[in-house]
A = this chain, B = another copy of it.
Amino acid sequence: MKNNELIEEAEEYLFTHIPITVHLGVRVLSYDGRSIEIHAPLDPNINHRETAFGGSLSAVAILSGWALIHLALLEEDVDARLVIQKSSMDFIKAVEGAFMAECSLPGEEEWQRFLTMLNRKSVARLNLKSTVTCNGEMVCTHDGTYVAMIKEPER
């Protein structure tokens, strides 16, 4: 599948299944199966001082890691439930404009170890860092621990 189609599918998926993403105003700027960039405008995420609300920044950072693993698992034909177990965010400076959360999968070896564990134990854990930038400057860093579980058959 071409990258543009992947991106459209990724956005469509988020907007349909996680409706708050529509109100956060996010767009998937890039997605290539290994990394993702999610853009959000300032206006819908503004706080009382004309900078981005910390809760919106956190939500978009969490989304970048979640969406990346979720989409990468779909490409591996793995139908897993994916949840975040731990989120840690450092807010480095005020965010005075549109912002972008970027996240990349770990190296191939670690990714394969994650898939093997998921296949063997039906549950596996992955730590991913995301960074949030605004006008090219790093404004937040996020560490997320995500847990994938192979879903049980429908009863």
Contact = CB atoms under 8 A, between A and B. Distances in A.
Identical copies of this chain, number: 2
B17 A48 contact: yes
A81 B93 CA distance: 13
Contacts of A62: 54-55, 58
A113 interface: no
A55 B46 contact: no
Contact of A94 (B17, B49, B70, B83): B83
A43 B130 CA distance: 27
A56 interface: yes
Contact of A88 (B18, B47, B48, B88): B88
A47 B17 contact: yes
A55 B59 contact: yes
Contacts of A84: 54, 91
